[in-house]
Amino acid sequence: MIILLPVLLGIFLLGGAFIPAHEKARSGPEDPIARKVDSVLALMTLEEKIGQMTLYTTDWGSTGPTIRPGYADDIRAGNCGALFNSHTAAFTRELQRIAVEESRLKIPLLFGFDVVHGYKTMFPIPLGQAASWDMEAIERAAEVAAAEAAAAGLNWTFAPMLDVTRDPRWGRVMEGPGEDPFLGAAAARAQVKGFQGDSFDNADRVLACVKHFAAYGAPIGGRDYNTVDMSERTFREVYLPPYRAGVEAGAWTVMASFNDIDGVPATGNSWLMGDILRGEWNFPGFVVTDYTGINEMVSHGVVANEKEAGELAVLAGVEMDMQSAAYQNHLKQSVREGKVPEARIDEAVRHILYTKFLLGLFDDPYKFCNKEREQRVLLSQEHQDASRDVARRSIVLLRNEGVLPLSKEIKTLAVIGPLADDKDNLIGAWSGAGEGRHCVSLLTGIRSKLGKEANILYAKGCEIEGDDQSGFAEALAAARKADAVILAIGEHKDMSGEATSKAMIRIPGQQEELARQLAATGKPVAVVLMNGRPLVMPWLAENAPALLECWWLGTQAGNAIADVLFGDYNPSGKLPITFPRHEGQIPIYYSYKNTGRPFNPDSKWTTKYIDIPNTPQFPFGYGLSYTTFRYSAPKVDRAVFRRGQEVKITVTVENAGRLAGEEVVQLYLRDLVASTTRPVKELKGFQKIMLKPGERREVQFTLTENDFAFYTRTMQWAAETGSFDLMVGGSSDEVQTVRVTMIE
């Protein structure tokens, strides 16, 4: 797929103002950046062009960043246009200096890194952030991450990760927005805005990278890197929306995914990179591979060797080769042989040079390498406050039998569990430059909340993994002496993330047994879960006196959890993904289809298991509060409406308890009769509102024709007339319904 120059020229950025991609058609061929790009391109040899398309990695040694032998010479020779994993202001400044002072054309480097949920100040893992359903909080997390990354010499993050997934066996579930396209798209917009800001003139924002394009979150069996195969309708309705939202919000780069889809690896897929990304979405930036995605096409079996792999990738629309050196090793030969037109190389390089101009690197290559700023910005108090705030918004209260919130006047408190006094795991996987030593453990958070007077008994109880119960006795003795028990258990940070798929997603080791024995003491036990994925935990889910899903919350985890445990913050998170009762239910998601034989407990011949229920342990959208919210029956402004007319649905929500709190009011839709089968529920709106005790608020959603649309039988994105159920409530399984009908 050849990307034509007018597409690039049509991009924008006049006078430095950022114009979102969907408005780019406004600017014309007079784009001054494009003229500059062409003037540089005219000077370049083919080798230098291929160099711009090559992304190298650097490493991190015990004394700081290191560079591999020969790489500095390669920068000098113009063989590499970008680096990843290179960070700190000093290190990037030196590498940039080599590029702009010692290379022939003095083209500045891009510096990329996986700043997924924080650079130094860590925020909750993205799945946890999605549980906040709070787009301002998510944007703020990305903004702080960008500010720290940009202060440490980086100008590009490999985030947001926007892979919808319905399979918690897949370890990378922790890195994305969960199971839903609508919530995922909202999180995508918030993150892109946070990372990139409104203008590339800013020195405290970085380029975003929408990844992993596409449908990487749907590997068969939940095994990482595995085959993806699904209908185009499901692909477009469920998996594409978050990526699209990210691109439309202006994300300047996109990463191709490792997987194949419908038989074609994404890295060599011109339908994805050409037809959809450039054609349908008008993507103006550049596409990078995921790591050795090019070489891996040999193993996929669609090319015989690395050279053919490079040809397939570049012709499909992949502009930058991360790590594999396939472009560097073979592309020149491919051009000579006429397998790849040089014009295609030029197009790719234009996109990359354009980006460097856009960031202002030709004017100030050291814009992001400022040691003084780095020292001032990293881990600043302001960033700690932001992290604590986002962290407590991400916590989901799953059960509470009157245990929480605990009183701060408590005399003796037992704090137990392998994660209670742990700092290293709080940053979770994909933790950028984050370090456990900067984290506030739960024990420390509780101590600073209760002060020196409180009698806190700590016991580890057991390790995260293994069979050893020798610590149980001490833990049980502490519990018996205490007025209440807090038990912190879950996953080690390496148990979720890349290449950590699991067949059994249970709480590892002896931790659940420890919980059982502690609960048997009769003391009020609040279980704090720290983990990266939905877990199967039947005993806890049905018996824990209190259960808090705390994910991996980042640097301020301990303070944030203490805020919730002691009622300084009323939990408001809602699950962004279904928690199954059993792995055998996977994939399990709220937005399933009715089938011709919907579940009926009294009939064997319906869609169900004979050994476990269909229902999840905890549904999508679910989460408790310390107060209760009462919903009125929803009302619509018109029960019958014409195509093109808006429909307003209104509900009154009342805080019927004694504590102030936030509620996520959710709107779902079901199309009752359509030309294709439709899900029983699809999220179409949500609002997070704060209510004081006794306060009532009217919440209104406005639906337009587009909200009723789907891919019809003939694959048109359109709404069909007929009746729809609109459902409003505080969880996907607790809604009230009103019916509306659309007529021509």
Interface with ligand BGC (CB under 6 A)? 114, 158, 211, 290-291, 498
Q: Which is nearer to ligand BGC, 114 or 143 (CB)?
A: 114
Q: Which is nearer to ligand BGC, 182 or 239 (CB)?
A: 239
Q: Which is nearer to ligand BGC, 97 or 223 (CB)?
A: 223
Q: How far is the CB of 158 from ligand BGC (least distance, A)?
A: 4
Sign of the Cα torsion 336, 342, 348, 350 reads positive
Q: How far is the CB of 171 from ligand BGC (least distance, A)?
A: 11
Residue owning tokens 């889910």? 541
Half-sphere exposure of 512 (CA within 13 A, CB side): 15
Q: Give residue number: closest CB to ligand BGC.
A: 158
Give the span between the Cα atoms of 175 and 116, in whole angstroms. 8
- For the chain, the residue count is 744
Who contacts 465 (Cβ-Cβ below 8 Å, separation ≥6)? Answer: 492, 508, 509
Long-range contacts of 372-377 (CB under 8 A, 24+ apart): 373/89, 373/151, 374/88, 374/89, 374/151, 374/152, 374/153, 376/151, 377/147, 377/148, 377/151, 377/204
Q: Which is nearer to ligand BGC, 224 or 275 (CB)?
A: 224
Q: How far is the CB of 114 from ligand BGC (least distance, A)?
A: 5
Residue 611 annotated as catalytic: no
Q: Is 723 helix (H, G, I), strand (E, B) or coil?
A: strand
The distance in angstroms from the start CA to the end CA of the chain is 40
What are the E-state strand segments in 184-227?
Answer: 209-213
Give the span between the Cα atoms of 223 and 245, in whole angstroms. 26
Q: How far is the CB of 219 from ligand BGC (least distance, A)?
A: 12
Q: Which is nearer to ligand BGC, 173 or 416 (CB)?
A: 173
**Lookup: tokens for 377:** 């910005």
Give the span between the Cα atoms of 185 and 103, in whole angstroms. 41
Q: Which is nearer to ligand BGC, 429 or 742 (CB)?
A: 429
Q: Which is nearer to ligand BGC, 117 or 211 (CB)?
A: 211
Q: How far is the CB of 675 from ligand BGC (least distance, A)?
A: 38
DSSP letters of 288-326? E--TTTTTHHHHHTSSSSHHHHHHHHHHHT--BEES--H
Q: Which is nearer to ligand BGC, 498 or 734 (CB)?
A: 498
Q: Which is nearer to ligand BGC, 133 or 158 (CB)?
A: 158
Q: How far is the CB of 240 from ligand BGC (least distance, A)?
A: 18
Q: How far is the CB of 185 from ligand BGC (least distance, A)?
A: 20
Q: Which is nearer to ligand BGC, 299 or 407 (CB)?
A: 299
Find out whether 480 and 523 touch, Cβ atoms under 8 Å.
Answer: yes
Q: Which is nearer to ligand BGC, 158 or 579 (CB)?
A: 158
Which residue, among 124, 131, 133, 180, has the nearest Cα to 664 in the 3D structure? 133
Q: How far is the CB of 211 from ligand BGC (least distance, A)?
A: 6
Fill in the DSSP letter of residue 255.
Answer: E
Q: Which is nearer to ligand BGC, 157 or 202 (CB)?
A: 157
Determine the angle formed by the axes of helices 181-196 and 135-151, rounding to 10 degrees.
40
Give the span between the Cα atoms of 328 and 521, in whole angstroms. 65
Which residue, among 589, 579, 583, has the nearest Cα to 612 in the 3D structure? 583
Q: Which is nearer to ligand BGC, 133 or 252 (CB)?
A: 252
Task: Name the strand (E) or helix (H) holding 389.
Answer: helix 381-394
Q: How far is the CB of 244 from ligand BGC (least distance, A)?
A: 19
Find out whether 168 and 577 touch, Cβ atoms under 8 Å.
Answer: yes
Q: How far is the CB of 305 from ligand BGC (least distance, A)?
A: 22
Give the span between the Cα atoms of 12 and 358, in whole angstroms. 10
Q: How far is the CB of 498 from ligand BGC (least distance, A)?
A: 5
Fill in the DSSP letter of residue 122.
Answer: B
Does 405 sit behind a cis peptide bond, omega within 30 degrees of 0 on the bond before it? yes
Q: How far is the CB of 551 from ligand BGC (least distance, A)?
A: 19
Give the span between the Cα atoms of 647 and 638, in whole angstroms. 7
Active-site annotation holder among 134, 290, 563, 707: 290
Q: How far is the CB of 225 from ligand BGC (least distance, A)?
A: 9
**Lookup: tokens for 307:** 């050279």
CA dihedral 437, 438, 439, 444 (to 10 degrees): 80
Find out whether 484 and 363 touch, Cβ atoms under 8 Å.
Answer: no
Strands laid side by side in the 525-530 sheet: 396-400, 546-549, 525-530, 484-490, 412-416, 455-459
Fill in the DSSP letter of residue 563.
Answer: H
Q: Is 275 helix (H, G, I), strand (E, B) or coil?
A: helix
Find out whether 582 and 588 touch, Cβ atoms under 8 Å.
Answer: no
Q: What angle do CA 698, 704, 707 make, to 5 degrees?
A: 100
Annotated catalytic residues are: 290
